[in-house]
Structure 1
Amino acid sequence: MPDEPNDDLNLFRQATAGVKRIRADDRADTGKPRASREQIQYKRQQATQAADRIRVDGLSDQFVVDVEPEEFLAWAGNGVQDSQLRKLKSGQIAFDGSIDLHGMTVEKARNLLWDFLAEATRLEVRCVRVTHGKAVRKDGRKPILKSHVNTWLRQHAKVLAFSSCLPRHGGTGSVYVLLRRDMLEGRED
């Protein structure tokens, strides 16, 4: 048994006899200078900052249409079939995730909604529910979050359609959101 390691070493030497060792200075010249650690770190920071700018620009507040507390919301992007929208309105498309934005500031709600939709898209979820509330106010002001959610969902590239929920799922205080799925093929729904 003690001879086996030497036998393996001898076998390896025999198998590699005549092979020339490659040194680090023998590498091919690609014509591009190697990036320093500082350059790589700078590029990473720039990429992170660019993603943050896209997030804020992705859901704009420049033009928000005020909606009534009990108003039924429904919207479909180009290419969404009427039958799909009818199924969504009637709750026939099951939702696989839900988020509640009650009582949040507009900025916090926007960030959480963006993250929620990004995660649902990453997981290839077909339909989610977003609860925005109705905010029926004595002073007569319109519901702020409901109006913003109505605007944001129309702007989001992955949102195909949305509709106010059935009463058992939150009624006009929530919406079903139909999302675009890109990666899965062969689905029939």
Structure 2
Amino acid sequence: MTQDSNDADDLELFRQATQGARPISHDRADTGKPRSDRAQLHARRQRATQTQNQLRVDGLSDQFVIDVLPEEELAWAANGVQEGQLRKLKSGQIAFDGSIDLHGMNVDKARELLWEFIAEATRIEVRCVRVTHGKAQRKDGRTPILKSHVNTWLRQHDSVLAFTSCLPRHGGTGSVYVLLRRNMLEGRDD
């Protein structure tokens, strides 16, 4: 048997096997996923690009801000935090595992980012973080805005156990070490 004879036999077998079959009208496979509603998708995209001008209630109040001086050292501890823990924090003996820099931000943006940063650090069980707020003396002679707000906000946050100004190599009085509460994750031994 020759090659041409084999090809002819194969072609005849194929025709017999596909007899009565109709060609499909489209060339897309059905993946089993529901089709997306284009109008709904467009509306979701529009909502995602719009700015949210609504008041965000996050528990951080600006009603009473504790004014602090540019070079003033900050230190605070919640009830129950041992003096030894605060000393270790102040001397940099508790390593920080995350850092955020709020320099140049307005109060609203700094507040939002600080809230998200602490929430994420708490979620992944970070023990200590550094928050850089700056300490620039304002031109009108008043106290630094972000430093004063961060000092107030950290005292209000449920996840914050303590904070102190950093060592000079980590930002000095322009930054704070923040000791966070940890909720032990399931399955952790420590």
- TM-score, normalised with respect to structure 2: 0.68
Residues 1:91 and 2:92 are matched in the alignment: yes
Number of the residue aligned with 2:117: 116
Helix, strand or coil: the match of 2:178?
strand
Partner of 2:27: none
- Paired residue secondary structure (1:58): coil
Residue type at the aligned position of 1:111: E
Please give the alpha-carbon distance, in whole angstroms, between the structure 2 residues aligned to 1:153 and 1:141: 21
Following TM superposition, by how much is the alpha carbon of 1:135 offset from its aligned partner in structure 2, in angstroms? 1.2
**Deviation by residue 1:98-129 (Cα, 9 ceiling, x = unmatched):** 00000101000000000000000000000000
> What residue in structure 2 maps to residue 31 of structure 1?
none
Aligned pair count reads 135
Name whichever of 78-87 and 130-139 sits farther off: 130-139
- Structure-1 residue corresponding to 2:159: 158
Cα deviation per residue 1:64-110 (whole Å; 9 max; x = unaligned)?
01000000000000110000000000000000000000010100000
**Equivalent position of 1:169 in the other structure:** 170
Instruction: Name whichever structure is richer in helix by fraction.
Output: 1
Q: What is the rounded CA distance, in whole Å, between the counterparts of 1:123 and 1:138 in structure 2? A: 40
Query: What's 2:46 paired with?
Result: none
Write the distance in 1 (CA, Å) between the matches of 2:163 and 2:189. 23
Residue 101 of structure 1: aligned partner = 102
- CA–CA distance in structure 2, aligned partners of residues 56 and 92 of structure 1: 34
- Displacement over 4 Å in runs of 4+: none
Q: Larger C-alpha radius of gyration, 1 or 2?
A: 2
- Residue 69 of structure 1 aligns with an amino acid whose one-letter code is P
Task: Write the distance in 2 (CA, Å) between the matches of 1:116 and 1:106.
Answer: 15
Alignment deviations for residues 35-62 of structure 1 (CA, whole Å, 9 cap, x no partner): xxxxxxxxxxxxxxxxx87x53411101
Q: Give unmatched runs, 5+ long, in structure 1.
A: 1-51
Give the aligned partner of residue 183 of structure 1. 184
Offset of residue 186 of structure 1? 4.9
**RMSD over aligned Cα, in angstroms?**
1.5
Q: For 1:94 and 1:147, how far apart are their aligned partners in 2?
A: 24
Aligned amino acid, residue 138 of structure 2: R
